[in-house]
Amino acid sequence: MTTTLRPDGAEEAAANDGRTRRWHIMVNGHPVGGLRTTVWPGEGFCPGEISELEVTEGRRRGRGTVAALAAEEVLRSWGCTRVDITVPADAEAGLRLAHALGYTERMRNMIKPLDELPQLPAGLTDRRIGPEQYPAWEQAAVAGYRQDLIDSGLGAAEATAKSEHDHQRALPDGPDTPDTALRQLLDADGNVLGCLWVALRLNSLPDGRPLAWVMLVEVAPEQRGHGHGRTLMRLAERECLAAGVHDLGLNVFSDNGVAVALYESLGYRVTLRRLSKSLL
The DSSP annotation for 186-233 comes to E-TT--EEEEEEEEEEEEE-TTS-EEEEEEEEEE-GGGTTSSHHHHHH
Q: Is 100 helix (H, G, I), strand (E, B) or coil?
A: helix
Query: What's the full length of the chain, in residues?
Result: 280
CA distance 44 to 215: 22
Query: Is 13 strand, coil or helix?
Result: strand
The distance in angstroms from the start CA to the end CA of the chain is 29
**pLDDT at site 124:** 96
d(CA 166, CA 88): 24
What residues does 181 pair with on adjacent strands? 198
Q: Rounded CA gap, 199 and 217, in Å?
A: 12
Q: What's the pTM value of the predicted model, to 2 decimals?
A: 0.82
* pLDDT number for residue 280: 76
Torsion of CA 265, 269, 273, 274, to 10 degrees: -70
Nearest-angstrom CA–CA distance, 22 and 11: 8
Cα-flanking dihedrals φ and ψ of residue 8, to 5°?
Answer: -110, 75
Reading phi first (left if > 0) and then psi (alpha if -120 to 50, else beta), residue 17 is in left
Report the C-alpha gap between 72 and 107 in whole angstroms. 20
Question: pLDDT under 70 in the chain at which residues?
Answer: 1, 16, 42-45, 152-154
pLDDT given for residue 135 in this prediction = 96
Quote the pLDDT of residue 276.
92
Give the domains, in start order, of the chain with CATH numbers. 3-80 (no CATH), 112-272 (3.40.630.30)
pLDDT tens, residue by residue, 167-201 = 998 999 999 999 999 999 999 999 999 999 999 99
Q: Which of 185, 160, 149, 189 is nearest to 274 (CA)?
A: 149
